[in-house]
């Protein structure tokens, strides 16, 4: 295996691909995790994750992609969220927080007692 420094970042999907190939070659999760650790260092998936994915591949799983999860998506695309996010920035100080909350308050026309003083 090439070192991560030589080939760039090794993603979680890259690691899953390696887990799949090595599992099908007959390696056990401990061996696979050790090899990944050599390349990925602190960015290696947990040994329990390697074991879980190896089991899935042995049971016939084909894809390395995550399964869709039920529930609310990580991102929202409703009109209010998209418009609001456009005007807000990451808060780095109290004045940033105040500016963001005030901007949100003005956009949504809601009352925020602490900031309405």
- CA 95 vs CA 76, 102, 104, 113, 116: distances in Å: 26, 10, 14, 17, 15
What pLDDT score was predicted for residue 63? 93
Smallest CA-to-CA distance from 2 within 13, 12, 14 is with 14
Q: What is the pLDDT of residue 97?
A: 67
**Domain 4-58, second-level architecture:** Orthogonal Bundle (1.10)
Q: Give CATH 1.10.10 domain extents, the chain.
A: 4-58
pTM over 0.75, yes/no: no
Q: Look-up: residue for tokens 């003083």?
A: 117
Averaged pLDDT, groups of 10, the chain, 117 residues long: 57 95 96 95 95 96 90 64 51 64 69 60
Model pLDDT, residue 36:
96
Mark residue 76 as left, alpha or beta (left: phi above 0; alpha: psi -120 to 50; beta: remaining). Answer: beta
Q: Terminus-to-terminus CA distance in the chain, angstroms?
A: 61
pLDDT of residue 5: 47
């Amino acid at each position: 295996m090439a070192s991560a420094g030589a080939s760039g970042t090794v993603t979680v999907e890259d690691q899953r691909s390696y887990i799949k190939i090595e599992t099908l070659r007959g390696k056990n999760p401990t061996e696979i995790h050790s090899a990944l650790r050599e390349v990925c260092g602190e960015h290696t998936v947990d040994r329990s994750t390697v074991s879980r994915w190896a089991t899935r591949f042995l049971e016939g799983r084909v894809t390395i992609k995550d399964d869709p999860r039920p529930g609310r998506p990580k991102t929202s695309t409703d009109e209010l969220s998209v418009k609001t996010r456009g005007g807000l920035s990451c808060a780095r100080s109290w004045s940033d927080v105040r500016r963001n909350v005030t901007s949100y308050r003005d956009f949504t026309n809601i009352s925020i007692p602490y900031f309405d003083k």
